[in-house]
Copies of this chain bind each other. A is one copy, B any other.
């Protein structure tokens, strides 16, 4: 029996999504919760990995259980065995062929910045501080260049192995919230560190360190020297993964 779950987590104290020998991960906590709830070893597969320190408010995963339970009950069964910084928000029986990773159509990430000469402890857990005034116009101008289909080779950490570095960005929007600037990036798929490097590039443009032409050239020519630095993990949150049909709405 395959089930879909929507998971939120505070990534601060984890070494990212994927199980690894040298630190605690979100995947390990979820698989331990499933083992505690159902007495069975199973794999929890996410829409994609998140890096060490990255948060999620809407990660989607699937898992296969040997037992049949009402889909919406799975969330509470897992939550009973999860720590405070991980929570299952929704659960459902998955439709035939649903795969949280391969079926994902669109993902939306949020990168949050705050602009201040000094650290603010109430913002600093889920946002990155920038010691400069906010130039929203310049950030938007750089963001507009990323929309559409581009080769994001320059925005991909070296060492990652992918067939192609071409990706489509559907849209980037900026919005303000309580002293924060949120940058929402929606796309069909993302390379390793791509969102964090895009935001670093937008920021460098707003600080006058890169021109719009540099950014266009970085997409045309793939040169790492024309992009900004990769921003810290703590400002990044995976907010939404979309499927068609929606596994939490589909009639079963």
Complex contact A118–B88 (CB within 8 A) = yes
Q: Is A242 on the interface with B (CB-CB < 8 A)?
A: no
Number of copies of this kind of chain in the complex: 2
| Most central of A79, A116, A119, A121 by chain B CB within 10 Å | A121
- Smallest CB separation, A237 vs chain B (Å): 7
Interface-located stretch among A31-39, A122-130, A222-230: A122-130
Interface size class of A (residues with CB under 8 A): 20 to 34
Collect the chain B residues with CB atoms within 8 Å of residue A79's CB: 118-119
Partner of A85, one of B76, B118, B121, B179: B121
Complex Cα distance A55/B124, Å? 14
Complex Cα distance A10/B12, Å? 15
Which A residues are closer than 8 A to B by beta carbons?
A: 8-10, 55-57, 75-76, 79, 84-89, 116, 118-122, 124-126, 177-179, 237
Q: List 11 A-B contacts (CB under 8 A).
A: A8-B122, A9-B122, A10-B122, A10-B125, A76-B118, A84-B124, A87-B118, A87-B121, A88-B118, A122-B237, A177-B177
